[in-house]
Chains A and B, each alone.
Chain A
């Protein structure tokens, strides 16, 4: 396909080729900030949009796949059940790059079961939770990720403890778990690129303030609160496999983790020394952050050694969806053999 615009990324596409329809979310919505970083990450990586499938459940967050990658097939499914659809898509065609966008209601309540089983199977996909602590489309009810004591717009205090989706994901053996903030584009885009290079389920819990229903004083998911409280675990960088740049770091100041496709994620130490390859440490860090009311962001956990679902299914390189008849309909002789055994 010849286009009039000069090629920009490594496969010759422009940033516009990665865009979607205009957003219909509220002005200033955190979700739109995340959408922009998804567009940037896929553009920067030079992923061909037609090789991507975008999936979602129901909620404000789940509308967003319409706002990026217009050239990718999209599937806005039913509430809480995007993981099963993604699993089916992955089984039918494991060569597709899957990106799922969900919200805290869609994942932590109605979809909690499917979320858990997706992780347990390690279905290769990026799973983003656009987490704002409220149900936006139904006008401001608390979700299961709302913090204890967080105040609703109506003034009601949340009396139930939150479900920490990152902690849960690590407990379930998730091989890539990150937490970020819609207002931290630099960190978010690095995490998105790393997630796209990971082979397995990559969960990104992104605090994404709801400007209409949860951005007030007393909310723990507001822009103001998140900006003030964000404590990055490290400074994240990403080196794609096709750019073998070597950067000189001060000895011991940067941890590099090599991803499945040969890309590298670089973790520059802050005042704390955090190793994201240790699950037990990750869990205690998350627990402690809750106690101290800290908002920790970064790559919480990574394990590149876990087999992904496609490997476990033992299927061949060719997608099952497009195998020819000669491969999927056994011979006439085979039926005769079976019939004889039943006589």
Chain B
């Protein structure tokens, strides 16, 4: 077992690999393995050991292969790890391929009848009579199938030495108060553990030992984190259309709001959620609500973004606040709707027709999904424009360990909205006039009781007074002010996170969920005496830090999880004078980026 992470070597002692491996569970979707995998991950987490969980699932409800990978890492690396150390091969359809993908010395737990030992002799096989054991767990055919999953939890728990107390707690959490289910599942785990104890002679190096690195940490997926951000931002109108991988954002938001957003006096909800007929309508509803003064949002993925193009541009020109979450996935229609990607960056940034560019927030962790979820509503109302938050399937739907989220410290700011008293004092207003020199005009809400409050919202042809115009100078005036507003935003969007290492000639730039792999890669490179600085872009438009960073480094590598090097292209456009020294590292097979990929790419370039 080799790992380049600092401090890991001393843990590999006498053939033992402690708290540093990955478990890959191959099952069939719809078989109920999700709860078992959660229990397995949570038990290790509760032992104080950093973990991350990734679900690789098909676009299907039942019967197709699915994999769940748990990475256990004492150093806290939570990106995907490419190598599998322990395979639990429960799916006969994929068993042979799964076992072939292992490195020599890896562990394979499988049902005895799959005879996987015949496929690979350089892998440590533990063959378990799951069918027979399931018979001991229940007589019911359906339950037997479900409990088989808990039996493998028991076997793995015994092999790795996972505390039984932690399993008990994790099961109690998973099945919240359902005593019968808790007992059945605990019993199944016990059957697996006992069989393993009596029948398996452990001949592999992997095991867990308690640590104290997860004390006070939470486990959450990015979509739930974003939902919390929206709830604490004070979202009041949500319009959405179901689409993987963003559905769970709104669904979890609904659940949270039912618990926390009921008016204590009237007992009525302080929000309205509507499942629209399509994304064309969802964005129309969000804009209508934003125009009328609500904090509004929609959540979607790439195909939905395409459908929202016309209305988003309309929102840009007419200056209506709303928030659009794009949990990115791979391309159109069928194919890979359940795989991750960062390929909507350029299309979201420039969405629509006729000179549009949008503010885009790029969260790189579950904490930022929460924080930017909140910030997006502030920026939308401050700049009176649709704001994108680009997450991705990996960040949005997978389980991440994190510090607990902080309660907002700033009060809600609704931006430049004039009420009747202010209108009376001013004697009127011009909807699209740049009064303050920042490109941001004032608006009024429908329902404002003043004869001068009303204005007429119309597409691109409007004067500062919001009246109809087709005059060239009026159009140009509007376009220039919108650009000025966009440039003002550079001072207010989240600045990049920059880590400059003294003497480093290499600068890495990345965004979003690539952060986990890039951070790990930088440690790997450091162990090889390759020093790197790092800038993580957190929003578009770019801020001044980007130029400073690119100026200061000889070689720039931009990491993109898309084919067309979209962030690299945006940076080249921003800094054409540096175009030649900005290289690209692109990962785009639909699976999350991993550290070695970045490390290998940089090593290959640097050796040239």
Contact = CB atoms under 8 A, between A and B. Distances in A.
Given A329-B234, A330-B231, A50 B450 contact: yes
B269 to A, nearest CB: 6
Nearest to B218: A342
A167 B22 CA distance: 62
Interface string A170-188: 0000000000000000000
Given A73-B446, A95-B447, A315 B268 contact: yes
Nearest to A53: B446
A85 B450 contact: no
A83 B268 CA distance: 25
Interface string B413-454: 000000000000000000000000000000011111111011
Contacts of A92: 236-237, 288-294, 296
Nearest to B448: A50
Contact of B296 (A21, A50, A88, A327): A88
A3 B294 CA distance: 33
Instruction: List the 5 closest pairs (A to B, CB-CB), nearest first.
Output: A88-B288, A84-B284, A321-B293, A328-B234, A92-B294
B314 A78 contact: yes
Given A92-B296, A313-B272, A335-B407, A50 B216 contact: no
B240 interface: no
B294 A91 contact: yes
Given A51-B447, A322-B293, A73 B455 contact: yes
B454 A93 contact: no
B76 to A, nearest CB: 17
A71 interface: yes
Contacts of B457: 73-76
Interface stretch (B112-120, B141-149, B275-283): B275-283
B227 to A, nearest CB: 10
A87 interface: yes
B288 A84 contact: yes
Nearest to B293: A321
B453 A50 contact: yes
B284 A93 contact: no
Contacts of A66: 456, 458, 468
Contact of A84 (B261, B281, B451, B468): B281
Could you say which interface size class chain B belongs to?
A: 35 or more
A10 interface: no
B277 A117 contact: yes
Given A74-B454, A87-B274, A88-B288, 12 more contacts: A53-B292, A81-B284, A81-B311, A84-B239, A84-B285, A88-B237, A88-B294, A92-B289, A93-B447, A114-B281, A328-B236, A339-B405
Contacts of B277: 113-114, 116-117
A29 to B, nearest CB: 17
User: Which residue of B270, B284, B291, B292 has the most chain A CB atoms within 10 A of its CB atom?
Assistant: B292
A325 interface: yes
Contacts of B467: 21
Interface string A63-97: 00110001111111110010111111111110110
Nearest to A333: B407
A157 interface: no
A15 to B, nearest CB: 15
Interface string B61-75: 000000000000000
A78 B234 contact: no
B270 A327 contact: yes
Contacts of A90: 288
A5 interface: no
A117 B281 contact: yes
Contacts of B447: 50-51, 53, 73, 93, 95-96, 319, 321
A328 B285 contact: no
Interface string A35-77: 0000000000000111101010000000001100011111111
Contacts of B280: 81, 84, 113-114
A177 B467 CA distance: 33
Interface string B516-549: 0000000000000000000000000000000000
A50 B448 CA distance: 6
B270 A320 contact: yes
B294 A81 contact: no
Interface of A is mostly: helix
Contacts of A51: 447
Interface of A: 1, 21, 48-51, 53, 55, 65-66, 70-78, 81, 83-93, 95-96, 113-114, 116-117, 121, 313-317, 319-323, 325, 327-330, 332, 334-336, 338-339, 342-343
Interface string B261-274: 10100101111101
A271 B456 CA distance: 45
A9 to B, nearest CB: 15
Given A74-B457, A339-B404, A323 B260 contact: no
A51 B449 CA distance: 8
Given A71-B451, A93-B293, A325-B412, A76 B288 contact: no
Given A329-B408, A339-B404, A321 B455 contact: no
Contact of A321 (B260, B287, B289, B458): B289
A1 B451 contact: yes
A330 B285 contact: no
Contacts of B407: 332, 335-336
B228 interface: yes
Contact of A320 (B218, B236, B256, B274): B236
A320 B288 contact: no
Contacts of A49: 454
Contact of B272 (A77, A315, A327): A315
A225 to B, nearest CB: 33
B236 A314 contact: no
17 contacts: A51-B447, A65-B456, A75-B288, A84-B280, A84-B285, A88-B237, A88-B294, A88-B296, A91-B272, A92-B237, A92-B296, A95-B447, A113-B280, A320-B271, A321-B294, A338-B260, A342-B220
A116 B269 CA distance: 27
B104 interface: no
Nearest to A327: B270
Contact of B268 (A91, A114, A316): A316
Interface in B214-256: 216-220, 228, 231-237, 239, 256
Given A96-B446, A114-B281, A343 B217 contact: yes
